[in-house]
Amino acid sequence: MAGNDSLEGLRERLAQFAAERAWEPFHTPKNLSMALIAEAAELVEHFQWLTPEQSAALPADKLEEVAMELADIQIYLIRIADRLGVDLIDSARRKIAINETRYPAERVRGDARRADEYDH
What is the residue type of 17? F
**58 counts as binding a second copy under rule CB under 8 A:** yes
Residues 92-111 that bind a second copy (CB under 8 A): 92-96, 98-100, 103, 105, 108-110
d(CA 21, CA 54): 40
Q: Longest Cα pair distance anywhere in the chain, in angstroms?
A: 52
Residues 62-91 that bind a second copy (CB under 8 A): 63, 66-68, 70-75, 77-78, 80-81, 83-86, 88-89, 91
Q: Report the nearest approach of a second copy to the CB of residue 81 (Å).
A: 5
